[in-house]
């Protein structure tokens, strides 16, 4: 065999190996069915040591802080945050963060957590935060959709802004992406339970263009696990379908597990009551346990 042929054969071999081990073209979507060979029997769980059983209804799929809202899974009417407040009336918030609009509203709990975060940034001299959008009613979302079109806005129900747990953040000094405020939030928001919902390198997964301004409250430990594994919400829920995830934060151990909800059922939770249950807005609930 001639030398160039040997080289060609070797190169072809390498090319074959490379294609074999590259991930499949990334067409990512949470299935509406169950992606893996999970045993789905809809049966009640059995309580283990230090556990009790609680009744969880199928309707809880659509309630809680962990709802996945995207083009495939809209918010079910009435399941937005129940503590929406006008930020202008919340004076401590309005004194620290410039409000672009006097009508800006948000879940009060999320507003308080955001304020805690901003105060910590202030300590480091970063203090030019601005809030440009918060909770939107279906009517407001529809108006925005009509005005901006499908490339820049979602129809009512399909935006996280309809949930009341997301806000758009700006800097009064410059565009958010390059501003100190934006950089600080990208590095630190996860410590406070917030996530940059639409990062630059995940556009194919979220189906939303990079939005350096849009932050969603999801809570700890979820934001920390997602940061640790570089996951967006869609990936996080996909990972939870495979196996429970856990993390230790400041000495507290958290277990997070997904339960498919084919019907109302009993789920085992810690008897000490240190747990939360939230729907994923798709097909199940996420049980988060804290062990001290
Ligand atoms: Zn937004």
pLDDT of amino acid 14: 59
The token pair at 176 is 């958010």
Distance CA 126, CA 118 (A): 8
Q: How many CA atoms lie within 13 A of 221 on its CB side?
A: 25
> Catalytic annotation on 203?
no
210 and 226 share one domain: no
Judge whether 143 lies within some domain: yes
The token pair at 67 is 């709802």
Q: Are 177 and 171 in contact (CB under 8 A)?
A: no
Per-residue burial over 95-132, b = 16 or more CB atoms within 10 Å of its CB, e = otherwise: eebebeeeebbbbbbbbbbbbebbeebeeeebbbbbbe
pLDDT of amino acid 13: 60
205 and 283 share one domain: no
Reduce the DSSP state of residue 275 to 3 states and report it.
strand
Tell me how far the alpha carbon of residue 159 lies from the centroid of ligand 1, in angstroms: 8
244 and 281 share one domain: yes
Strand partners, 84: 107
Domain boundary among 191, 217, 243: 217
Judge whether 5 lies within some domain: no
139 and 46 share one domain: no
CA torsion sign for 51, 55, 57, 58 is positive
The CATH code of the domain that includes 260 is 3.30.200.180
pLDDT of amino acid 149: 86
149 and 42 share one domain: no
Tell me how far the alpha carbon of residue 40 lies from the centroid of ligand 1, in angstroms: 36
Tell me how far the alpha carbon of residue 63 lies from the centroid of ligand 1, in angstroms: 20
Judge whether 1 lies within some domain: no
> pLDDT of the chain along its 292 residues, tens only?
667 676 666 666 655 554 444 333 323 333 333 333 334 557 888 888 999 999 999 999 999 999 999 999 999 999 999 999 999 998 889 899 999 999 999 999 999 999 999 999 999 999 999 999 999 998 999 899 899 888 778 888 999 999 999 999 999 999 999 999 999 999 999 999 999 999 999 999 999 999 999 999 999 999 999 999 999 999 999 999 999 999 999 999 999 999 999 999 999 999 999 999 999 999 999 999 999 8
| Structural domain for 122, as ranges | 79-217
Judge whether 272 lies within some domain: yes
167 and 130 share one domain: yes
Catalytic residue among 45, 140, 203, 211: 211
Phi-psi region of 138 (alpha: psi -120 to 50; beta: other; left: phi over 0): alpha
At 194-241, the pLDDT tens digits run 999 999 999 999 999 999 999 999 999 999 999 999 999 999 999 999
44 and 155 share one domain: no
How far are the Cα atoms of 91, 143, 200, 251, 255 from residue 30, in angstroms, in the given order? 41, 29, 20, 33, 22
The CATH code of the domain that includes 126 is 3.30.1380.10
Judge whether 160 lies within some domain: yes
pLDDT of amino acid 21: 42
> How large is the angle between the packed helices 180-188 and 108-123, nearest 10 degrees?
110
The token pair at 60 is 């809880």
Q: DSSP labels for 237-266? A: HHHHHHS-EEEEETTEEEEEEEEE-SS-EE
pLDDT of amino acid 97: 95
Domain boundary among 217, 241, 258: 217
Q: Are 69 and 233 in contact (CB under 8 A)?
A: no
Tell me how far the alpha carbon of residue 166 lies from the centroid of ligand 1, in angstroms: 7
Tell me how far the alpha carbon of residue 41 lies from the centroid of ligand 1, in angstroms: 39
Q: Are 237 and 271 in contact (CB under 8 A)?
A: no
Tell me how far the alpha carbon of residue 164 lies from the centroid of ligand 1, in angstroms: 11
150 and 118 share one domain: yes
Judge whether 18 lies within some domain: no
Tell me how far the alpha carbon of residue 144 lies from the centroid of ligand 1, in angstroms: 12
Residues 6+ apart with CB under 8 A from 18: none
211 and 174 share one domain: yes
Count structural domains, the chain: 2
pLDDT of amino acid 45: 87
282 and 176 share one domain: no
Distance CA 125, CA 184 (A): 11
Residue 198's closest CA among 154, 148, 249, 157?
154
83 and 127 share one domain: yes
108 and 203 share one domain: yes
Domain boundary among 186, 201, 217: 217
pLDDT of amino acid 3: 73
Judge whether 9 lies within some domain: no
pLDDT of amino acid 16: 52
Judge whether 16 lies within some domain: no
């Amino acid at each position: 065999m001639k030398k160039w042929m040997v080289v060609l054969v070797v190169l072809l071999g390498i090319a074959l190996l490379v294609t074999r081990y590259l991930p499949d073209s990334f067409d990512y979507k949470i299935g509406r069915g169950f992606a893996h060979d999970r045993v789905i029997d809809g049966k009640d769980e059995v309580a283990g040591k230090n556990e009790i059983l609680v009744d969880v209804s199928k309707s809880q799929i659509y309630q809680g802080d962990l709802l996945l809202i995207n083009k495939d899974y809209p918010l079910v009417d009435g399941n937005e945050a129940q503590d929406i407040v006008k930020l202008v009336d919340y004076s401590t918030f309005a004194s620290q963060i410039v409000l672009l609009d006097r009508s800006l509203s948000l879940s009060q709990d999320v507003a308080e957590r955001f304020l805690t975060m901003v105060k910590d940034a202030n300590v480091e001299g970063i203090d030019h935060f601005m809030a440009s959008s918060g909770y939107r009613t279906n009517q407001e979302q529809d108006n925005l959709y009509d005005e901006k079109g499908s490339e820049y806005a979602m129809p009512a129900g399909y935006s996280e802004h309809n949930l009341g747990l997301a806000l758009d953040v700006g800097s009064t000094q410059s565009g958010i992406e390059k501003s100190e405020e934006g950089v600080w939030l990208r590095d630190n928001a996860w410590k406070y339970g917030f996530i940059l919902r639409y990062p630059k390198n995940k556009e194919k997964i979220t189906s939303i263009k990079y939005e350096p301004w849009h932050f969603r409250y999801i809570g700890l430990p979820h934001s920390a696990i997602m940061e640790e594994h570089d996951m967006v919400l869609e990936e996080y829920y996909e990972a939870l379908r495979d196996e429970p995830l856990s993390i230790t934060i400041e000495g507290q151990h958290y277990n997070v597990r997904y339960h498919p909800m084919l019907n109302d059922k009993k789920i085992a939770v810690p008897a000490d009551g240190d747990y939360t249950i939230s729907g994923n807005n798709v097909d199940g609930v996420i049980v988060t346990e804290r062990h001290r």
